Amino acid sequence: MYIDQFADYLRLERNYSPRTVASYQRDLVLFQGFLKETDPELDLLTADRDVVRLWVVDMMDKGEKSTTVNRKLSTLRSFYRFLRIKGVTDKSPVQGVKGPKNKKPLPQFVKETDMDRLLDDPQIDLGEGFTGIRNKTVIAAFYETGMRMAELIGLDDRDIDFGSRTIKVTGKRDKQRFIPFGDDLERRLKEYLEARTAEFGETHGAFFLSPKGGRIPRHQVYLLVKDALAKVSDVSKKSPHVLRHTFATSMLNHDAELGAVKELLGHNSLQTTEIYVHTTFQELKEIYKQAHPRA
């Protein structure tokens, strides 16, 4: 009865989709079934905090993902909030119950050998003329600086300082930082500028341009990176952010200090950068499995 009333409330008053309402109903029916299995005298109104915790343990023992368990706990919280609003009960057995921590997936990255092939192998075709040179320069800029897509799109000519070999990027909340670059990226940036001048004449403003001469749009950057990575890598995600992950992973694999990588990436917290330590360790594990005869 109460589950049906809750479903009507979600459907009619909260305007939830039929699919979402059905999901809430399934979760509550499962919980109701668990109560009956645990104690035939238990029901939705007599359930207490201990039995909710027991349900969490039971779901985890059955191999449910932490995200699924937390979603079902969220369903219970909404349901008992509804019962309190309706005056059916004045307490919630979910109060104080904490769900399992959701595991953050390790960031994906492209292997160094694949990046070398993408940038150095003349057989890898990223386009002809100005577009091809620009595409390869964009890939190199992402991989050799770790900048975000919005930061790359927002670059202006004045942000590139060849004298000091630094790029000024404007990150989140308009926070600015300077990223150094080396011989390889300097050569590519200058080659791109020559191609840009030949294509559009002298321009001053946006650094990376579209084939029409305006600032390169977000969707073009995403597509060119996706197409380029598809030529050399089988990573499931093929986006500019994967190249940012690849930059950080490569730096740490070559003994860069974590604090330095944090500054280059523009992270506010060292904890955000620490996830790449786990990524590099994962890579070491894979190398170990492939190389050691007893792995």
Q: Both ends of the chain: CA-CA distance in Å?
A: 57
The active-site residue out of 134, 244, 245, 262 is 244
- The residue annotated as part of the active site, out of 134, 148, 188, 245, is 148
Q: Is 172 among the catalytic positions? A: yes
Give every CB contact of residue 11 below 8 A, 6+ residues apart in sequence.
18, 21
* Catalytic hit among 11, 111, 215, 267: 267
How many CB atoms neighbour CB 185 within 10 A? 19
Q: What is the pLDDT of residues 53-91, one digit of tens each?
A: 999 999 988 888 888 899 999 999 999 999 999 899 888
| Identical topology for domains 2-85 and 112-291 | no
Which DSSP letter does residue 126 get? -
- Model pTM greater than 0.75? no
Q: 259, 276 in Cβ contact below 8 A?
A: no
142-174, pLDDT tens digit by residue? 999 999 999 999 999 999 999 999 999 998 878
Alpha helices for 121-181 (secondary structure H): 129-145, 149-153
- Tell me if residue 244 is catalytic: yes
- 267 catalytic per annotation: yes
Tally of CA atoms within 13 A in the half-sphere of 103 that contains its CB: 7
pLDDT tier, 268 (very low <50, low <70, confident <90, very high otherwise): confident
Q: Which of 172, 175, 187, 218 is flagged as catalytic?
A: 172
Query: Does domain 112-291 fall into CATH 1.10.443.10?
Result: yes
Q: What is the DSSP string of 206-218?
A: BSSB-TTSSBPPH
What does the block give as tokens for 80?
């008992």
219 catalytic residue (yes or no): no
- Sequence spans of domains, the chain: 2-85, 112-291
Instruction: Answer whether 51's CB lies under 8 Å from 42's CB.
Output: yes
Please indicate whether residue 148 is annotated as part of the active site. yes
CATH of range 2-85; options 1.10.150, 1.10.3470, 1.10.3120, 2.30.30: 1.10.150
Structure tokens at 187: 């050569």
Q: How far apart are CA 30 and CA 9, in angstroms?
A: 20
Give yes or no: 245 in active site.
Answer: no
Residue 16: the pLDDT is 87
